[in-house]
Amino acid sequence: MVDGFAFADLPDDVIGLRYPLPRLAAAIRSGGLVRIVAMGSSSTAGRADVVPFPHWLEMYLRSATGNARIDVINRGRGGEEADKELLRFDTDIFPLEPAMVIWQVGTNAVFHRQDYDIDSIAADIETGLKRLCAEPAKMDVMLIDPQYVTAMLLDDKADLSERMVKLISEKAERAGVNLFHRWALMRHWHVHNDISFERMLDPTDPDKLHQSDASTQRFSRGLCDTILKAVASAPAT
């Protein structure tokens, strides 16, 4: 049920962006076609019983701006991590010439920790950001860090999750790109809004990894609001 999340906080001091989004702002202000590419794993791709965040983000952005030509193109692929996503940049991102790329990353490196080296994935994220931020690309870039859910806190994964979140933050800061702090936002919901993991999790997911439909929708609302604030702060060109 979505109504249980209507009062979940979306605090600026948790999810506010550090930088404006000038290329997205220019595209929106033009009133023409606006492309945003969402790259990531299963929490971007979505599950059969959960509407993924790119769908909600597109709907919210179109409604808020009055521009029905904003397309949030979903390039999520379940089970992938930065190493494999890098290989898709030339087919799934650059040919589309988006005004903005949202890269959700880091979850599978923790969840499938036996298959990954965290430092290697962090290096792949840094490589990816350099490619996305290269001048010919001419796109705004945002990272989204992992979800704060049961599967990311069990056994020895809690410390690894915190380390992954820290590494993503460091890579975003070094590249000068925005980071949407999903981990911190969901932790805020759990700690300060007293929202249980059961309500934040997809009830059909035995791994306790994926967000529920309501949680995903509220996260998408926060993402939209945060993006629009960054767009508003971008100077007109």
Number of separate domains in the chain: 1
* Domain membership flag for residue 237: no
Contact 46, 213 (CB under 8 A): no
By C-alpha distance, which of 182, 162, 149 is closest to 57? 182
* Domain membership flag for residue 9: yes
pTM of the model: 0.96
Taking only the tens place, the pLDDT of each residue in 221-230 is 999 999 999 9
* Domain membership flag for residue 54: yes
* Domain membership flag for residue 156: yes
Tokens of 180: 């949407």
Q: Which domain holds residue 38?
A: 3-232
Taking only the tens place, the pLDDT of each residue in 86-141 is 999 999 999 999 999 999 999 999 999 999 999 999 999 999 999 999 988 899 99
* Domain membership flag for residue 149: yes
CATH code, domain with 149: 3.40.50.1110
Burial 129-155 (b: 16+ CB within 10 A, else e): beebbeeebebbbbbbbbbbbebbbee
Contact 25, 61 (CB under 8 A): no
* Domain membership flag for residue 167: yes
* Domain membership flag for residue 120: yes
* Domain membership flag for residue 67: yes
